[in-house]
Copies of this chain bind each other. A is one copy, B any other.
């Protein structure tokens, strides 16, 4: 996630490259601009054939383009926001479960409590590993060997948590209804796993992406022929601005729609895992690790 500067000046907003989508799309925008300069230089003729295009087809094409871009954009943002909401549920359930451990097992000593909560501390890291398809280093702080063996599978970690909770519930003769209350939090954690899995495994249907890319490219490549006669050497400027917004919206959609990667606009799974760890440790009054800080304005 790109961290937004507090009260950015107008200058930053207008000219900064940092946090902008430009690094991803400048090649395409430049190419389109050069192409349109070429069109102006040849006065819109192609092999001695004058290509005449009025604004009408562009207005009509714009109709579907608007539907496509609008749809794609909101679908992508919905995926992003749903993924964020799911990770938000993670911290809520983790806090609830820790609170319940404190309330219902007041007799536990520090070691037992940590043993019980180890899988909970590991769960977000395991989920991150699962979503990003890598086993990261920073899981090392988890002391529990049994937990560390399964850091690639959130379901197994959750299973372990369930076993430990049930075990302690039996030992301390917890009323089953309160065990059921804790079980509801485990289900919630499982819900997050399933939800993220769904977003990860089901992209926006591919033909939408294909079709959108095609219309955007055709639109930008043909546009100079329409503008050249009326605005002359301002054509490349106009096309450049349009290409910037079209390609930019398209590239942004691509990044936002798949929020579990490690691109700058993806969700900061590392930082959020750490925050969940901190939230749990705060409640049981353990020493807290520092929150992760953004590197060059990007939080991962």
Binding site for B on A (CB under 8 A): 1-4, 10, 13-14, 16, 19-21, 28, 51-71, 73-75, 77, 80, 84-85, 87-89, 91-92, 95-96, 99-100, 102-104, 106, 153, 155-156, 158-159, 162-163, 165-166, 175-181, 183-187, 190-191, 193-195, 197-198, 202-203, 205-211, 213-215, 217-218, 223, 226-227, 230-232, 234, 238, 241-242, 244-246, 248-249, 252, 256, 265, 267, 279, 282-283
Task: Name which residue of chain B comes closest to A79, CB basis.
Answer: B81
A99 touches B159 (CB 8 A): yes
Please classify the interface of chain A as helix (H, G, I), strand (E, B), loop, or mixed, using the class held by over half of its residues.
Answer: helix
A52 touches B230 (CB 8 A): yes
Best-buried of A59, A99, A183 by chain B (most CB within 10 Å)? A99
A92 touches B252 (CB 8 A): no
Knowing A14-B213, A215-B245, the reply to whether A52 touches B252 (Cβ < 8 A) is no
3 nearest CB pairs, A to B: A92-B194, A88-B198, A175-B176
Knowing A67-B73, A194-B89, the reply to whether A156 touches B234 (Cβ < 8 A) is no
Knowing A56-B227, A57-B242, A71-B73, the reply to whether A205 touches B96 (Cβ < 8 A) is no
B159 touches A283 (CB 8 A): yes
Best-buried of A67, A95, A162, A195 by chain B (most CB within 10 Å)? A67
CA distance A162 to B214 in the complex (A): 51
Q: How far is the CB of A180 from chain B (nearest CB, A)?
A: 5
B283 touches A92 (CB 8 A): no
- A163: chain B residues at CB < 8 Å are 102-103
- A2: chain B residues at CB < 8 Å are 205-207
Partner of A177, one of B61, B103, B176, B187: B176
